[in-house]
Amino acid sequence: MAKWGQGDPRWIVEERPDATNVNNWHWTEKNASGWSTEKLRSLLVGMIVEDPHIGVCKITDIEKCEGEASANNRKAKVILFYEWDLKLKWEGKANGSDFQVLGKIDIPNLSDENEPGDVDVSVRIKSSGPESEKLKGMMRTKGAQLIREQLSKYIKDFQEDLLEFPILEISAVNAGTQEHAKNTSQMERLEIGGVRINIGDLELQVNLKCTAEEIYRVLTLKEMVEAFTRGPAIMDSEATKGSKFAILGGNISGEYLDLIPAKKVVQSWRFKSWPEEHYSTVTMKLKQLESSTDVLIKQTGVPIIDLERTKDGWTHHYFDAIKRTFGFGAFLL
């Protein structure tokens, strides 16, 4: 597993009229959703699956094609993003029979995170009987193989046809008047040194079997931070307001903005891969209960493309690690 803070950041920036590459973060994003919809239809609809010992089937339509696709480019580096949920319709006849078998195929996880061979291809039939089962079996094996081959072609063509995609037009707001959305799923756009990115907020809650004072110490004492991150932390032996920190090999860094013992920890916080001047704000509120402590985490100003990765990182690299290290028995709600 890659370290938290490593990997490909994929945020959106607008082409500057003067073509200036600000802080080496001049990205463009090209919208490939419309192209992908048509490409998938051309590759899949009409596809024939045949076995001389069983029969012939044909994919007749794409009933559902939900998702999105885009291509991000920085200098000579191109990153493809695509995520699709497909539902196909098919029909077929077994050898020596006039009975038409109808069915559907679900492909829920065609995405840049999966290799074509790992994409799920689930085959269903509307009727029962030996003929239907034979054709279903053929579609599950030979049909699934052919479908994955066509999906591989989609990815290959995606890489080769980048110049045909329109550049997304993205407006920006002034960083000084930025207001975070109350709905954490709502996106905003922020300009940092000429670099424009989509940002969002995240919230999560964890219950720890410890006192508020204990978890406060874990979050602010160098030796305890080093214990659960399993590596050196660059910070004061005890955090104070205005003191800086860097953990996980420098992949995460920031500053302690506010500290109220056993009550609250506020940090400016960034991944190393983010644009140089961009920081999110993390607020951790500690609520002492009868036999445990709730930690309420809100993080604002996260580049939207990193939102899920960041939330997952809090779960696995912070609180699961704290649970294992100190025996606090944390469970995300």
Q: What is the CATH number of the domain that holds 67?
A: 3.15.10.20
In angstroms, rounded to a whole number, what is the distance separating the alpha carbons of residues 50 and 142? 8
pLDDT of residue 112: 84
pLDDT-derived band at 190, boundaries 50, 70, 90: low
Contact criterion met (CB below 8 Å) for 222 and 236: yes
175 within a domain of the structure (yes/no): no
Is residue 4 in a domain?
A: no
pLDDT at residue 189 greater than cutoff 70: no
- Residue 133 CB contacts under 8 Å (≥ 6 apart), including other chains: 125
Residue 202 and residue 122 in one domain: no
Would you say residue 119 lies in a domain?
yes
Question: Residue 65 belongs to what domain range?
Answer: 22-164
Q: What is the pLDDT of residue 71?
A: 77
- Indicate if the pLDDT at residue 107 is higher than 60: yes
Provide the number of structural domains found in the chain. Answer: 2
Contacts of 49 (CB under 8 A, 6+ apart): 56, 57, 58, 59, 90, 92, 138, 139, 142, 143, 146
The DSSP H or E segment spanning 218 is helix 212-220
- Residue 102 shares a structural domain with residue 46: yes
Q: Are 26 and 158 in the same domain? A: yes
pLDDT of residue 196: 61
What pLDDT sits at residue 19? 40
Is 177 inside any structural domain?
no
- Per residue in 119-147, pLDDT (tens digit) is 999 999 998 889 999 999 999 999 999 99
Q: Are residues 145 and 265 in the same domain?
A: no
Domain-located, residue 263:
yes
156 in the same domain as 52: yes
Q: Are residues 244 and 311 in the same domain?
A: yes
Residue 294 pLDDT > 90, yes or no? yes
Asked whether 296 and 271 are in contact (CB, 8 A), the reply is: no
The answer to whether residue 209 is domain-embedded is: yes
Do 149 and 46 share a structural domain? yes
How does strand 280-288 pair with strand 188-192?
A: unpaired
* Domain termination residue (choose one: 139, 164, 189): 164
Distances from the Cα of 1 to the Cαs of 135, 194, 227, 266, in angstroms?
A: 40, 33, 20, 28
Same domain, 26 and 160: yes
Centroid of chain to Cα 253: 21
- Residue 268 counted as domain residue: yes
Q: Is residue 159 domain-shared with residue 204, that is, in the same domain? A: no
What span, in angstroms and rounded, lies between the C-alpha atoms of 229 and 222?
Answer: 10
Query: Which CATH number fits the domain that encloses residue 266?
Result: 3.30.530.20
Within 230-331, where are the H helices?
A: 307-313, 320-326
**Sign of the torsion angle spanned by Cα atoms 46, 48, 49, 53:** positive
Q: CA-based angle 67:69:71, to the nearest 5?
A: 165
CA distance 125 to 221: 60
> Residue 13 pLDDT more than 90?
no
Quickly count: other Cβ atoms within 10 Å of residue 217's Cβ.
Answer: 18
C-alpha–C-alpha distance, residues 139 and 315, integer Å: 40
Eight-state DSSP code of residue 115: -
Report whether 31 contacts 166 (CB < 8 A): yes
**pLDDT at residue 64 greater than cutoff 50:** yes
Residue 89's pLDDT is: 97
Residues with Cβ within 8 Å of 24's Cβ and at least 6 positions away in sequence, in order, are none
Question: Same domain for 136 and 207?
Answer: no
Domain end: 145, 164, 183, which one?
164
Regarding whether 321 and 226 lie in a shared domain, the answer is: yes
Q: Are residues 151 and 206 in the same domain?
A: no
3 domain-assigned: no
Longest dimension (CA), the chain: 81
Residue 327 vs residue 171, higher pLDDT: 327
- The region of weakest confidence among 19-23, 198-202, 231-235 is 19-23
